[in-house]
Chain A
Amino acid sequence: MDIICITFLHSEGHGIDFYVLGLQISGLGTLIAGINFLVTIINMRTPGMTYMRMPLFTWSTFVVSALILFAFPPLTVGLVLMMFDRMFGSNFFDVAAGGNTIIWEHLFWIFGHPEVYILILPAFGIFSEIFATFSRKRLFGYSSMVFATVLIGFLGFMVWAHHMFTTGLGPIANAIFAVATMAIAVPTGIKIFNWIFTMWGGSVKFTVPMLYAVAFIPSFTMGGVTGIMNASAPADYQFHDSYFVVAHFHYVIVGGVVLGLLAGITFYWPKMFGTMLSEKLGKVTFWTFLIGFHLTFFIQHFLGLMGMPRRVFTFLDNQGLNTGNMISTVGAFLMAFAVIVMVINIIMTSAKNEKVGNDPWGDGRTLEWAIPSPPPFYNFKQLPLVRGLDPYWVEKMEGKKEMTPAEPLGDIHMPNSSILPLTISFGLFVAAFGALYNMDDKTWTLPIIIVGLLITFVSMLIRSVKDDHGFHIHKEDLMDDKDKGGKA
């Protein structure tokens, strides 16, 4: 009985194992990175940088890191259960042996819903910086913006079962999760209005990052509106597993996250690489991407309502779905064209490599624009003194050209470079490679798993027992650098 169930129900091949092991390893990396961001933001802020003076991008990174910390462990457990079922013959999801597949749905979505906020909140942060910079006006409602970000992060953990309305949890569970989901529209609405009011009365400059930011507002709001439609549990019985849902989450992910990434890349490009991207080509990318995006995904709402199911790679002919899908395809090609133009833009401007100064947009408000582009590896020679929200803007308004240092020029303590993180993850790669083929009862897989885990644990042990005090950049060396001499 057991054998028959297992043979018929499990996915053949190594695809699922690859996905389980890959997610497990990258999830570990994400978790550690999240802890790193949290500790850095809590312990290592510069003098005067209080929590309520932090840039919104830093705030959203802070909240997202907390989400990572609490959302990834349930995914780890879910993946472990599946891995044990497939590799070691446990029965978590084998109903004949007492297992229960709903456990997977819960664990996955307890991770999966916070994950969508892990995606969108950094984009919200980037857009907040861009709106303030190019409206040349401080962000409207800064404290309500912070509050909304924290609230979205908190509520993000309370709504996972809205992905499971049709699972059959019952009307009470569905009602609670429907109401909790709709509640998230409130802090999100606060944000949308704050961005609009930031532009209101500002001296708006339509650079490429600002174009993305302005286009983001209606695109993301459309995704939010269909989100409310999906959140009403009775209506969701119609939308569930149809292309309507596909259209919804692409409006929030592409209209929110991807526009945010494109805006952020353009905005921070000169800071990262010391040269601007072409505004002209950037505008070509922006318009073709925006039109392509709406062309691709708007029609999918209607395809879904006409009954086209998701998670199926094709559809039958003569069902009235052909034209809509054709339009969608044309839109996708437009988006691909936009990205190719962006790559050309990157290659052309990198080849020219016209160097820019500290503040290439001319309207930088936050600390990163006070240091050279690209920044030196130690960032600030002397920690800057922060005297208000948008500290660089505060100094500019008083006619100063740079930040006031908060400390005398001294040695800077830096961490040493180390190969060990690489060997730790290489060991995990080797172990996962062995585990991937373990299902086939091959004899060579077990030694490979053991060798891989040994590489990882021995590297961890070396990292633990080897003293690593870092090194100091000496004051004299900092003084030698010509640009921006230190002030003692």
Chain B
Amino acid sequence: MQADERFTDATWPASPEKATLEGKNKYLGFWLFLGGETVLFASLFATYLALKDKVPNGDAALAKDLFELPLTFVATMLLLTSSLTSVYAMYHMKNNHFKQMQAWLVITVALGFAFLGLEIYEFNHYVHEFHHTFTSSAFGSAFYTLVGFHGAHVAFGLVWIISLMVRNARRGLNLYNAPKFYVASLYWHFIDVVWVFIFTVVYLMGMVG
């Protein structure tokens, strides 16, 4: 099967991301990469839990002083919804509906930017209202490293998805770029799953414990 062959809805394979050997390799390789990323975030979570509320003196802000549910709840909803819209995009990809796929990806990216904006606002708020900075305490270092690593992943994912959309805007789907879209959406789901853990471990556990 030629990778740049043109397809009709009838000839488009059911799993275009795995229809070529190159696609299959990319698909599996990326799943494995996400396995490694899981361990990376697990290490950051462990570091955060070990250093949570570890501050040099009594004046420093602790987790329960910092975190507020409304803001992080909105951020969580934005990112969870963006994961859902990326599923819709992949649904249309599998049905060879290029325009609809692009439209859902635009919504995904927009939600991702909104999330990132809230995160920047949140960090800014902690720094200016609570003097909770990257260098103020071990707690601060661990917090900004864990949540910042996730934020950097979100930013990387946004650049990735946008460049895929721009690159393929004129030529539509084929078996060469279908795995690329699919893998980018896998990455986006992974970012979302990590955030679910950050929301639980950092924010919810931070407010109650």
The reply to whether the CB of A397 lies closer than 8 angstroms to some CB of chain B is no
Identify the closest chain A residue to B184 (Cβ).
A464
- Is B100's beta carbon under 8 Å from chain A? no
For B, the interface residue count at a CB cutoff of 8 angstroms equals 39
Report the minimum CB–CB distance from A110 to chain B (whole Å).
8
Complex interface bits, B31-70 against A, C-beta within 8 A gives 1, otherwise 0: 0110111011001101100110011100000000000000
Q: Which residues of A contact B134 (CB under 8 A)?
A: 88-90
Complex CA–CA separation, A461 to B167 (angstroms): 11
Knowing A69-B32, A92-B47, A464-B163, the reply to whether A39 touches B138 (Cβ < 8 A) is no
Cα distance A84–B140 when bound, in Å?
12
A467 within 8 A of B: yes
Residues of chain B within 8 A (CB-CB) of A70 are: 35-36, 39
Partner of A98, one of B24, B46, B138: B138
- CB-contacts of B1-48 with A (<8 A): 3-4, 21, 24-25, 28-29, 32-33, 35-37, 39-40, 43-44, 46-47
Q: Any chain B CB within 8 A of the CB of A73? A: yes
| Contact A43 B180, beta carbon cutoff 8 Å | no
Q: Which of these, B4, B21, B40, B164, contacts A44 with CB under 8 Å?
A: B21
> Does chain B have a CB within 8 A of A42?
yes
Docked-complex contact A98 and B137, CB < 8 angstroms:
yes
A76 and B140 alpha carbons, distance in the complex (Å): 20
- With a cutoff of 8 Å between Cβ atoms, the chain B residues found around residue A464 in the complex are 160, 163-164, 167, 180
Q: Which of A39, A98, A467 is close to B176, meaning CB atoms less than 8 Å apart?
A: A467
| Known A-B contacts A35-B33, A91-B138; A98 and B56 likewise in contact (beta carbons under 8 Å) | yes
- Across-interface contacts of B54 in A (CB, < 8 A): 98-100
B139 at interface by CB-CB < 8 Å: yes
Of B29, B136, B163, B167, chain A has the most CB atoms within 10 Å of the CB of B29
- Contact B135–A89 (Cβ < 8 Å): yes
Q: Determine if A94 is an interface residue (Cβ-Cβ < 8 Å).
A: yes
CB distance from A427 to the nearest CB of B (A): 16
A42 contact set on B, CB distance < 8 A: 28
- Are the C-beta atoms of B138 and A77 separated by less than 8 Å? no
Please, which residue of chain B has its CB at the minimum distance from the CB of A39?
A: B29
Contact A103-B40, Cβ < 8 Å, known A42-B28, A90-B134, A91-B138:
no
Q: Which A residues fall within an 8 A CB radius of B?
A: 2, 31, 35-36, 38-40, 42-44, 69-70, 72-74, 76-78, 80-81, 84-85, 88-92, 94, 96-100, 103, 106-107, 110, 461, 464-465, 467, 469
Beyond the given pairs A100-B54, A107-B47, 7 more chain A to chain B contacts, judged by CB atoms under 8 angstroms and listed by A's residue number, are: A38-B29, A73-B43, A74-B39, A92-B47, A98-B138, A103-B46, A106-B46
